[in-house]
C-alpha cells in the first residue's frame, strides 16, 4: 500500500507505471499485468477517478507544452489504468445488475427475504440497490419540493441544472414522475423497503461492515458526532480500526462512481460526502491530488485553454450564436439565409427543428456520416475563420491546435479504434 500521509502525485504515478510495465513497456491493450491489478486493489480508495483525471491533465499539459513523446506516454498509461479500473469495477456492476432484475418487479413488496437471495453477495447487492433507490427518490423529492416552493423564482437555466444533476426526464414530459405528491409516495415505499431489509437479522446482520456503517452513519448529524461514533462505538463493536473503515468506505465510493449515473449518482454523492467527513482531522485528509486540480500557472496540471474554430452552419456555431452576439465577420461570407435559419432554430426549437436542420444539410454542404449519429462538413476547420465573441474568448488565444496533437483522430476523422474492434485481453503473470 501507499503511505498516504507522505504520498505525492509523482510518487503515485511512478509506482503505477512501475507495476504496470512488463520488461519496460506497457502491455498491449487490453492486456494488463497482475502486479498492476494488485496495486490498484490494495489502494482502491485513492486510485480511482481522480487518478484518471490527473493523468489526463498531465497528458493535456504535455500537449500544450509540445512534449509529444511524454504526452503519448501519459495517454498510454491513462488508457491502461482505465482498463484496470473497468476490470476491477465490473464484478460490482454485474452483481448490482443481477439484483436489480430481482428488486425491480418487487417494488413495494416488503417481504424482502423472498427476493434478496441467501448468499452474502446477493444480499449485499440487494441492499445496495435498495439504498440506491432510496437516495435517488429522496433527491427527486427534494428537487420537486424546491421547484414547487420556488416556482416563481426558478428560471429555465436553474431548472436545466436540476435536470442535469438527475433524471433528464424529471420535468416536462407527460409521463414523467415529478410532482411532490408522486415523488413522496414512491420515496416512502423505497424507505420502507430499506427499513424492512435492515430489520431482518438474517439478511442484514452479517453484511460487510462498510454497508452496515452506511446505514448507521447517515442518521448522525455533524462530522464531530460521526467521528466520535466511529471511534467509540462502531469500530470496537466490529473489531476494526478507524483506518480500516475509511479504506472500506473509500472503496465503496469508487465503486459507486463507476456505476451508471441514473440512479446511482445520487448514492455516490451521499457516500462521498460521508467519506470526506470521516477523513477530517485524520492522516487520510492529506490530498496529493489537490495541486493538479488548481487551474493557475505554475500548478503541475496547468495547460492553456483556447477557442476553437466553429464551422459556419455547424451545431457548435448555432449554439455559440444562441448564447452570444457573434461578431459580424462570422457572417460576411455566408448568404443571408444562414442567419435567418439560425434565428429560426434559436427562436423556435420545436417540431420544425428537423426541417430546418435538413435545410442546413442541403444548402451548406453537409452530409450524414456513415454511422448516422452526427454530420461531418466538407469544410476544413482551419478554413472556417471563426472570430469568437469576447464573452466566449475571455482573453484566451484562438486556434492554438495543440488539441489535435492530443487527439489526432479528431483532425483526421479516422483512425479511432472502436471498442468492438478490441481483441480479448488477458492478465499477464510474471
Regarding pTM above 0.85, the answer is no
**Is the pLDDT reported for residue 241 higher than 90?**
yes
Measured CA angle at 266 (ends 274, 109), to 5 deg? 105
**Contact indicator for 134, 140 with CB cutoff of 8 Å:** no
115-163 pLDDT, tens digit per residue, is 998 899 999 999 999 999 999 999 888 888 877 777 666 666 666 555 5
> What is the C-alpha end-to-end distance of the chain, expressed in Å?
20
Q: How far is CA 22 from CA 423, 429, 430, in A?
A: 19, 10, 8
**Contact indicator for 197, 113 with CB cutoff of 8 Å:** no
CA dist 163 and 167 (Å) reads 6
**Is the pLDDT reported for residue 171 higher than 50?**
no
CA dist 49 and 382 (Å) reads 34
CA dist 141 and 136 (Å) reads 9
Provide mean pLDDT across the span 99-112: 93
Provide mean pLDDT across the span 168-184: 64
22-68 pLDDT, tens digit per residue, is 888 888 888 888 999 999 999 998 888 999 999 999 998 998 888 88
287-313 pLDDT, tens digit per residue, is 888 888 887 788 888 888 888 777 776
**Is the pLDDT reported for residue 164 higher than 60?**
no
**Is the pLDDT reported for residue 341 higher than 90?**
no
**Is the pLDDT reported for residue 274 higher than 90?**
yes
395: CB partners within 8 A, 6+ apart: none
Supply the DSSP symbol for 69. Answer: H
Which H helix or E strand runs over 428?
Answer: strand 427-428
Instruction: Give the pLDDT of residue 147.
Output: 75
C-alpha cell at 371: 454511422
Q: Find, among 341, 366, 367, the residue nearest to 355 by Cα.
A: 341
Is the CA virtual torsion 203, 205, 211, 216 positive or negative?
positive
**Contact indicator for 277, 266 with CB cutoff of 8 Å:** no
Instruction: Give the pLDDT of residue 124.
Output: 95
CA dist 337 and 47 (Å) reads 53
Amino acid at each position: 500500500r501507499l503511505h498516504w500521509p507522505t504520498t505525492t502525485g509523482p510518487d503515485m504515478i511512478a509506482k503505477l507505471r512501475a507495476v504496470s510495465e512488463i520488461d519496460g513497456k506497457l502491455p498491449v491493450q487490453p492486456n494488463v499485468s497482475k502486479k498492476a491489478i494488485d496495486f490498484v486493489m490494495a489502494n482502491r480508495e485513492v486510485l480511482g477517478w481522480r487518478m484518471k483525471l490527473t493523468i489526463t491533465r498531465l497528458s493535456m499539459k504535455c500537449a500544450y507544452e509540445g512534449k509529444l513523446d511524454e504526452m503519448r506516454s501519459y495517454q498510454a498509461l491513462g488508457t491502461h489504468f482505465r482498463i484496470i479500473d473497468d476490470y476491477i469495477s465490473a464484478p460490482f456492476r454485474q452483481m448490482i445488475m443481477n439484483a436489480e432484475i430481482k428488486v425491480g418487479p418487487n417494488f413495494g413488496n416488503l417481504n424482502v427475504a423472498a427476493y434478496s437471495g441467501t448468499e452474502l453477495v446477493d444480499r449485499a447487492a440487494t441492499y445496495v440497490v435498495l439504498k440506491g433507490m432510496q437516495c435517488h427518490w429522496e433527491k427527486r423529492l427534494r428537487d420537486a419540493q424546491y421547484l414547487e416552493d420556488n416556482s416563481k423564482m426558478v428560471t429555465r437555466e436553474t431548472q436545466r441544472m436540476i435536470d442535469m444533476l438527475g433524471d433528464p426526464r424529471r420535468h416536462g414530459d407527460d409521463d414523467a414522475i415529478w410532482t411532490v405528491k408522486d415523488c413522496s409516495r414512491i420515496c416512502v415505499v423505497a424507505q420502507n423497503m430499506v427499513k424492512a431489509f435492515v430489520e431482518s437479522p438474517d439478511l442484514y446482520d452479517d453484511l460487510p461492515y462498510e454497508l452496515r456503517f452506511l446505514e448507521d452513519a447517515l442518521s448522525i448529524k455533524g462530522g464531530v458526532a460521526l467521528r466520535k461514533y466511529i471511534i467509540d462505538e462502531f469500530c470496537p463493536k466490529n473489531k476494526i480500526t478507524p483506518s480500516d473503515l475509511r479504506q472500506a468506505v473509500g472503496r465503496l465510493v469508487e465503486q459507486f462512481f463507476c456505476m451508471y449515473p441514473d440512479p446511482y449518482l445520487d448514492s455516490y454523492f451521499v457516500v462521498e460526502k460521508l467519506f470526506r467527513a470521516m477523513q477530517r482531522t485524520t492522516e487520510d485528509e492529506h490530498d496529493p491530488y489537490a495541486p493538479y486540480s488548481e487551474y493557475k500557472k505554475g500548478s503541475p496540471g496547468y495547460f492553456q485553454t483556447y477557442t476553437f474554430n466553429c464551422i459556419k452552419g455547424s451545431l457548435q456555431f448555432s449554439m455559440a450564436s444562441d448564447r452570444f452576439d457573434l461578431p459580424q465577420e462570422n457572417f460576411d461570407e455566408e448568404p443571408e439565409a444562414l442567419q435567418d435559419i439560425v434565428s429560426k432554430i434559436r427562436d423556435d426549437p420545436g417540431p420544425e427543428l428537423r426541417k430546418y436542420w435538413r435545410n442546413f444539410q442541403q444548402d451548406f454542404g453537409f452530409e450524414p456520416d456513415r454511422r448516422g449519429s452526427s454530420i461531418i462538413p466538407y469544410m476544413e476547420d482551419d478554413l472556417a475563420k471563426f472570430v469568437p465573441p469576447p464573452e466566449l474568448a475571455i482573453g484566451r488565444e484562438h486556434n492554438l491546435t495543440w488539441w489535435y496533437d492530443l487527439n489526432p483522430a479528431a483532425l483526421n476523422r479516422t483512425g479511432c479504434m472502436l471498442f468492438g474492434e478490441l481483441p480479448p485481453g488477458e492478465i499477464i503473470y510474471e
